[in-house]
Structure 1
């Protein structure tokens, strides 16, 4: 599977864990990462550093700093703080949307895109090229909430972008908070990851930093779960295809109608948690 990972890595630790899941999956060729939302250069350098700790060097292209309507960017403040020399990381020149379009249209039907942040880069790619939505093999999105009106962070951060992406006609699988919050990672999981080399040690530090910011000793691996819907679909159930409608506040509702979007409806929580740890350990080792 040839995959591009679109991420706001550096805030919630789940992006870093999702990157590690991809790196630890032998069936995946991670051809590149694009970063979105806020200081995307810093995010790109962090992605490059973590991939390098696994002995990998995918293309990493910084993307959109601002949302489409220039909504305020939420910034946790600890992004990249565990590395004092991130400025030394060399990332790729160019524009993330152009990179996405080039890679997808160069190999129609062969590139999957996993998008786990605000959807600004993906919307820009859709707008820039009418062939992007047609040529992408599949979009795998972590976003939304489909059991109530409460908007989820990724979609409410840029609802204008989300509306463009879900209205594009691209084949999409979206996994919302009602699914991702059923799985937790705790100290035992982190200990297993930390024992697996330099990447594992770095991820342990990133997880514990996130825990301190929330005054908790567990986290929900939202983004790795969305990655697993692509890699191990038998661990999930999915609804019928239809349309996702995005509200002005970023709320998301599903309508069973003409469309190419399906929503993840359930997960086998214990096997999902074990698979996340197994693949991260594989990357770190």
Structure 2
């Protein structure tokens, strides 16, 4: 009889503990889902601002998502070693009411002296206020990367690179310093969730994409040694989606003076449409898995001549984005909705 009673008590307690455990697990799962839904994505933007105007439009989208509390821009790095790039970023930060976003610079990098420099052109207009007093005192990008990353939670940061891989390759080579005992590669592995790059071409035979060929050794190093997942938006994706010059001319009457609009006008003779290469790399971070198709897992290699090749590989942590005609239309509609919209402080 005692054995039966003990057995009954044991069964009752087991049911109770199981129910409590399941309730706790469900509660924890709900809390995790809520936290994930409400979390703010931490972003570092690495850009060759001043080479092609799509960088300016891409940065506009990042500000809008920070306005909405969906992302936090931890820092902006320029990988364009030309006068005007950092100052234009300062103009943009100031105009969008984020003057405290730190800026890191690239010194002795790729030669970008050929071609138009809309960033410098806008700076010379003297139409917009700035915040930074001494641009020569700005930190090297790899140093600022270390400072910013070391202070973030593990696996919390997304890096968006829409220019050359110079800064990231240099970061990989860094050693322990006052900010972290970790090497650059270890710091990336610990702090970065993934990287979204505008780089390469995979559906256009023998095409050498600009961001790759401007610093081939850096691109080779990044794809070969990155300890974190890389998603790249290749040349063919942005090429298929052009932002219309008509929008630049007609959709910004609410802003008599707008640095992004002045940049667009300074880049080429108006009116013109421009591919949205850098915007698509940003879009994948802002709206992951919503508009574009992700390739199978694999590995991206960069040849000595700059040609990029994707090889499917089980367990590979590198991918590229693809779109079809319908997706291209949806993406353009999204761009035409968000980019002409007012920032919160205007």
Partner of 2:186: 131
1:60-71, aligned counterparts within 5 Å? 60-67=102-109
For structure 2, list consecutive stretches of 5 or more residues without a partner in the other structure: 1-40, 175-183
Q: 2:310 aligns with which of 254, 257, 260?
A: 254
Partner of 2:286: 231
Task: Give aligned pairs, total.
Answer: 278
Render the CA deviation track for 1:135-180: whole Å, top value 9, x for unaligned. Answer: 2111110011111221100011011111111122321110011111
Partner of 2:42: 2
Relative to structure 1, is the Cα distance of residues 239 and 88 closer, same or farther in structure 2, using a 3 angstrom cutoff? Answer: closer
Partner of 1:117: 163
2:231 corresponds to 1:189: no
**Following the alignment from structure 1 to structure 2, what is the Cα–Cα distance between the partners of residues 93 and 18?**
23
Q: Do the aligned residues in 2 keep the contact of 1:18 with 1:223 (CA within 8 Å)?
A: yes
DSSP-derived class of the 1:76 partner: coil
Partner of 1:96: 141
Q: 1:80 aligns with which of 120, 128, 138?
A: 120
Partner of 2:212: 155
For structure 1, list consecutive stretches of 5 or more residues without a partner in the other structure: none
Q: Do the aligned residues in 2 keep the contact of 1:31 with 1:58 (CA within 8 Å)?
A: no
DSSP-derived class of the 1:80 partner: helix
Partner of 2:31: none
Q: 1:105 aligns with which of 150, 154, 167?
A: 150
Q: Do the aligned residues in 2 keep the contact of 1:211 with 1:219 (CA within 8 Å)?
A: no
Partner of 1:143: 199
TM-score calculated relative to the size of structure 1:
0.89
The structure with the larger Rg is 2
**Following the alignment from structure 2 to structure 1, what is the Cα–Cα distance between the partners of residues 100 and 318?**
28
Q: 1:15 aligns with which of 34, 51, 55?
A: 55
TM-score calculated relative to the size of structure 2:
0.74
Q: Do the aligned residues in 2 keep the contact of 1:14 with 1:221 (CA within 8 Å)?
A: yes
Partner of 1:273: 332
Render the CA deviation track for 1:181-213: whole Å, top value 9, x for unaligned. Answer: 0101113321354234267x332221122232x
Q: Do the aligned residues in 2 keep the contact of 1:186 with 1:218 (CA within 8 Å)?
A: yes
Higher relative contact order (CA 8 A, sep 6+): 1
